[in-house]
Amino acid sequence: MKVLAAVGSPRKEGNTDALVSAILEGAASVGAGVEKVNLAELRIEFCDACETCIQADPNADYCFKEDDMRDLYPKVAEADCLLVGTPVYFFSLSAQTKVFLDRLLPFSSGERIRTLQGKKLALAVVYGDADPAAAGVSNVINVVRQAADYANMRWMGYICGQAENLGDVAENEELLDKARQFGVVLARA
């Protein structure tokens, strides 16, 4: 069992990273292999929606763009579970997270669509408002869940954490314990 986490926060070692790290810690505690990728540290270009990737031979490159997504495609294909971590920015996913999801287009059609079928997809969300409904958490959940449904992935659910200041998640032991348990569930399901 391998869990690949894509962290879409531009803040290195921020609240989203802390939440995702706790989930991975829980998964690793029951024997899962884990890897965390910080999307903000990578050069991932926008999807052009040219659909060259969909029409290409399944053995060809996933995308013609020569950016860091080339290294991520095989990791996504090899993972048993994809964990997406994002802060809520202006009632939606962070830009880094959205670009990453957009660039999964090669897996949306043809032979490659089977690559994601049956894989697990889970979500970790950090929001700033006291009320998750007012913060836009449901918007983020809907986007990622619909992506899971479209790709015939197993939706494993989500965990949310409220954080107004840098370090809030790392200091919230109750949330970190829930995140570790979520990681155990991801690894064992």
pTM summary value: 0.94
Place of tokens 């929606």: 49
Residue 138: CB partners within 8 Å, gap ≥ 6? Answer: 132
Q: What is the pLDDT of residue 58?
A: 64
The conformational region for residue 29 under phi > 0 = left, psi -120 to 50 = alpha, else beta, is alpha
Cα→Cα distances 116→20, 130, 147, 156, Å: 21, 35, 11, 14
CB count within 10 Å of CB 171 equals 12
Q: How many domains does the chain have?
A: 1
* CATH code (residue 169): 3.40.50.360
Structural domain boundaries enclosing 182? 2-188
pLDDT in tens, 79-131: 999 999 999 999 999 999 999 999 998 887 767 767 888 999 999 999 999 88
Beta bridge partners, 16, equal: none
